[in-house]
Amino acid sequence: MKRTHPSAIVAAVLAGIVIGYLVDLFIVSAGGKAIVPPISLAITLVGVAAIVVALAWPIRRAVKQRATKHLDPFRAMRTAVLAKASAVSGALLLGFGLGVATFLLTRSVMPPFGTVWPGFATAVGGAVLLIGGLVAEHFCTLPPDDTDPEHEEPAHA
């Protein structure tokens, strides 16, 4: 599995900004109330980031220390996939929070501060999840194989 490419992260952030802004725009245009993400969303995102890094830590320890304890490859792969999904989801939620906050700040009538800062809190929570996912993904990366020609055994016929 390849690591998350920076262009995928940038694309997810931009998609989140557009989605957050347009969803709020359509809801308000239809006469509804703008979306204001709850503060519990940001707290949950930080908690998920901590869990993802905690799940990747034993894999890092097994890879770096050349542990004699058997590392389950299925667990390592699941953790790597979870880390990648967390990174992309964090980027999307970072953009969504910024899109909601941008929509609220660009209105002709300035909304109360209590409705704007949860959007920024969601963006911060998404950024923490993004960073946690990237760190966990780094923890699950295997070191390169030793392909030094000096250490290779010559082939015998």
Model confidence pLDDT, tens digit, residues 76-101: 899 999 999 999 999 999 999 999 99
Tens-place pLDDT, residues 64-77: 776 566 778 888 89
The CA-atom distances, in angstroms, between 7 and each of 47, 91, 111 are: 26, 11, 34
Query: What mean pLDDT value characterizes the chain?
Result: 88
Counting Cα atoms < 13 Å in the Cβ hemisphere of 18 gives 6
What pLDDT is recorded for position 66? Answer: 64
- C-alpha R_g of the chain: 21
Q: Which pTM does this prediction carry?
A: 0.85
pLDDT at residue 157 is higher than 50: no
What pLDDT is recorded for position 43? Answer: 96
